[in-house]
Amino acid sequence: MNKIILSSLGVFLLGSGMALAQEKVLHEKKWPEQDEKAKFYTVSGERHGQSFFKKYEFPEVEYKPGDKLTFDIYHTPDVMYHWYRLWAEKYPEITELYEVDKSYEGRPILQMTITNKKTGKHTDKPAAYFEGGRHGGEVTASEAVLWLTQHLLENYGKDPEITKLIDTKTIYVRPQNNPDGSNMYLFSEQRNRSTVRPYDVDGDGLFDEDPEEDLNGDGVIHMMRKKALTDEEKEEANYILDPRDPSGRLMKRVFDGQGEYLMYSEGIDNDGDGKFNEDGIGGLDLHRNYPENWRPDRRGDMTGRGYTQFGAGEYPLSEIETRSTVLWLLSHPNISVVNSLDTRVPMHLRPPSTSSSEESMFEKDREIYEYYDSLGMTITGYPWAGDVYETYATRWKVNRLTGDPLKPTPLFGHGPDFGYFYYGAVWYGDELWNNGAMKDYDGDGILDDYDALMWDDEENESRGFKPWEKFDHPQLGEVEIGGFHPKFFAQNGPPWQLEGWIKKQSLFNLAMAKDLPQIEINDVQVSKSGDEYEIKVKWSNSGKLPVALDQAKRVKIVQEDRLMLEFDKELMKGFENAKVQITGPELYDKTIYAGYTDAGESKESVFKVKVNHNEPVKGKIKLLSTRGGYAEREITLGN
């Protein structure tokens, strides 16, 4: 059950028509990010490695809310939640803020419903859902949801299209699906792809025993490069200085034994297995934990000849963050459009993830997706749009190391696949940012680290790359530490680039929301022939999306559209002696089952009614569509 948050004091109301009740304040405990006296950030869970790390505050991040929300800086989950509470207070007629669930560590996962409450319940309207923060370190995604929320709320009543959208549709926004991972990422040097729950990445029976270490104390985990000196090192060396960069900063991958350097992420080999930082905090990937076409994690295939999926979890929906999303969505089948945002490939990313679009999608559905692929690229300028299996896996065409052509690659348990094949919606998992590779400086047709380095020098004052500095490593001897900033250049962009990216992405999301289906009763005609009334109802779908994709029909996530006619129950009693009898349709439940209304399609149906009553009779026509919304019209029979 959702908890609706009334104010920044943390007073809740039990929602969904339940009686009002006060509960405890939202934060019953002080989290490490909130403890200003704490010098270390501690992560929950039992693990074999370190669970506490020195706290840092990065200049790229706003740690306390200011008087104005701006997008030239990143925001912590608490700062985001601050603004959502203020918006809930400022716009009570069009917002509802509530706690969907709690994260692994117990933090609230907040969500907001945006719709005009005076025009109907949010579940009676076509809806879209936008989510960020699934991967803890991909904080740009959360910023995009925050930007879209502010844009919708501040333009309601000013922008006619946004006003109409909020009056007639419902937008659900969840900025932080994984607040544990995002907080650790923003308050310490640690990085993670997803949840912080302890996990045995390297299969040695130990959990999180080999995290990264900030050896030089600058608060950032960079790379280490070591010149190969021994015969053993020379056999493994697989990097050289990239000849395109005469400054000697950029490294190029080559075959093992053909290089001059070895590369490691900054840290030490804690478990003595010869690998560095291979088992850090967490490791479960929430975007591999969905029930659609899930596969067991690595080492889960006993034959050695099947497919496994890294980060999949113990079983589908084993992680509360994913489970809360799926269970909530299944209880809200009015949603037709979803985007669960990530970083850092600039791409409109969609299903299928384990097969080609032509092979596994209905043709009409595929055409809808292809339309949004094209629309998205027009709005955002991303270089790619398409499915995971083919487009994403082969976007570079050839393996730059081997020269072999790239082949389609399956990705299992993926969110977009759940979204289409299981949930029957238009579901994207768009990737923002591009690692700084803005233009093709060397003209090789590929945007890579060289292009990012050149752009960093030309446009970013060289702030995205740390020059290599010698360091005496306790295990490796002399190394150099440097490379791209992993948090605010590689995985997420410099703050001054932030708003441009999240605005374009949000405008694409907004464009999809404006296309939602919309069932409308266009006309009701009442005529009488003898002792029987004929009621002709005309309706249409004014949206640009059908009320159900063909896949949604297949998996029965939505019911077909239904037309019902209701009168006072007292008038309907008595069977053939009733004062009001619905004679057509002849079905016992008197419901007209109208199939699924396509985009722009108009339909009509007829009710027949006998009235054995001298007084005028009032009735109500109800049009019910799972994803097209709900409409009603009152009628009167008799003088």
Per residue in 289-335, pLDDT tens? 999 999 999 899 999 999 999 999 999 999 999 999 999 999 999 99
Domains of the chain: 56-192+319-432+495-516 (3.40.630.10), 519-637 (2.60.40.10)
* Predicted pLDDT at 2: 57
* Predicted pLDDT at 638: 87
Q: What is d(CA 323, CA 294) in angstroms, rounded to the nearest whole number?
A: 14
516-535 tens-digit pLDDT:
999 999 999 999 988 899 99
* Predicted pLDDT at 632: 97
Q: Is the peptide bond before 160 cis (omega within 30 degrees of 0)?
A: no
Q: Please write down the HEC assignment for all residues of 615-627.
A: CCEEEEEEEEECC
- 345 near 384, Cβ under 8 Å? yes
* Predicted pLDDT at 28: 55
pLDDT (average), residues 167-176: 98
600-615 tens-digit pLDDT:
999 999 999 999 888 8
Which residues 6+ apart lie within 8 Å of 217 measured at CB? Answer: none
Q: What is d(CA 221, CA 235) in angstroms, rounded to the nearest whole number?
A: 26
Assess whether pLDDT exceeds 70 at residue 7. Answer: no
pLDDT (average), residues 487-507: 98
Amino acid identity for residue 617 in this structure: V
Q: For the chain, what is the mean pLDDT?
A: 94
Assess whether pLDDT exceeds 50 at residue 11. Answer: no
222-259 tens-digit pLDDT:
999 999 999 999 999 999 999 999 999 999 999 999 99
Q: What is d(CA 487, CA 344) in angstroms, rounded to the nearest whole number?
A: 11
- 97 near 85, Cβ under 8 Å? yes
Which residues 6+ apart lie within 8 Å of 256 measured at CB? Answer: 235, 236, 237, 238
Residue 296: CA count within 13 A, CB half-sphere:
8
Cross-strand partners of 468: none
* Predicted pLDDT at 3: 55
User: How many Cβ atoms are within 10 Å of 209's Cβ, its own excluded?
Assistant: 21
Torsion of CA 246, 251, 257, 258, to 10 degrees: -30
Assess whether pLDDT exceeds 60 at residue 261. Answer: yes
CA angle (314 as vertex; 311, 318 as ends), nearest 5: 95
Nearest to residue 638, comparing CAs of 620, 601, 613? 613
Instruction: Specify the pairing of strand 431-432 against strand 426-428.
Output: unpaired
- 55 near 188, Cβ under 8 Å? yes
Q: Is the dihedral of CA 357, 362, 365, 371 positive or negative?
A: positive
Q: How many residues does the chain have?
A: 639
- Give burial (CB, 10 Å; 0-12/13-18/19+) of 203: exposed
- 635 near 535, Cβ under 8 Å? yes
Secondary-structure percent of the chain, ordered helix, strand, coil, rounded to 5? 25, 25, 50
pLDDT (average), residues 54-76: 97
176-231 tens-digit pLDDT:
999 999 999 999 999 988 899 999 999 999 999 999 999 999 999 999 999 999 99
Residue 525: enclosing H or E segment and its boundaries?
Answer: strand 519-529
Task: Report residue 385 as tokens.
Answer: 């749009």
* Predicted pLDDT at 529: 87
426-462 tens-digit pLDDT:
999 999 999 999 999 999 999 999 999 999 999 999 9
DSSP state of 403: -
Which residues 6+ apart lie within 8 Å of 517 measured at CB? Answer: 126, 336, 541, 543, 545, 546, 547, 597, 599, 625, 627, 628, 629
Could you please report the per-residue DSSP string of 298-325? TT--SSSSS---TT--SSTT-SHHHHHH
User: How many Cβ atoms are within 10 Å of 128's Cβ, its own excluded?
Assistant: 26
- Residue 148 vs residues 31, 142, 416, 431, 531: alpha-carbon distances, Å: 27, 10, 21, 16, 56
Q: What is d(CA 371, CA 387) in angstroms, rounded to the nearest whole number?
A: 13
Q: Is the peptide bond before 107 cis (omega within 30 degrees of 0)?
A: no
Task: Determine the 3-state secondary structure of 328 from DSSP.
Answer: helix
Q: What is d(CA 409, CA 396) in angstroms, rounded to the nearest whole number?
A: 13
- pLDDT band for position 94 (50/70/90)? very high
Q: What is d(CA 182, CA 138) in angstroms, rounded to the nearest whole number?
A: 8
Task: Report residue 439 as tokens.
Answer: 């233009």
262-289 tens-digit pLDDT:
999 999 999 999 999 999 999 999 999 9
User: How many Cβ atoms are within 10 Å of 237's Cβ, its own excluded?
Assistant: 22
Q: What is d(CA 598, CA 174) in angstroms, rounded to the nearest whole number?
A: 29
Assess whether pLDDT exceeds 80 at residue 23. Answer: no
- 242 near 250, Cβ under 8 Å? yes
- Residue 20 vs residues 15, 75, 99, 108, 413: alpha-carbon distances, Å: 8, 32, 16, 20, 39
- Residue 234 vs residues 239, 257, 381, 446, 477: alpha-carbon distances, Å: 10, 6, 43, 29, 15
Task: Determine the 3-state secondary structure of 62 from DSSP.
Answer: strand
DSSP state of 84: H
Assess whether pLDDT exceeds 50 at residue 598. Answer: yes
pLDDT (average), residues 103-117: 97
Task: Report residue 12 as tokens.
Answer: 């809740």
Task: Report residue 305 as tokens.
Answer: 């000849």
Cross-strand partners of 130: 173, 339
355-384 tens-digit pLDDT:
999 999 999 999 999 999 999 999 999 999
DSSP state of 339: E
* Predicted pLDDT at 15: 38
Among the ranges given (13-27, 85-99, 578-592), the one the predictor scored with the smallest mean pLDDT: 13-27
What percent of the chain lies above the pLDDT cut of 70? 96
Nearest to residue 201, comparing CAs of 212, 186, 213? 212
**pTM (2 d.p.):** 0.94
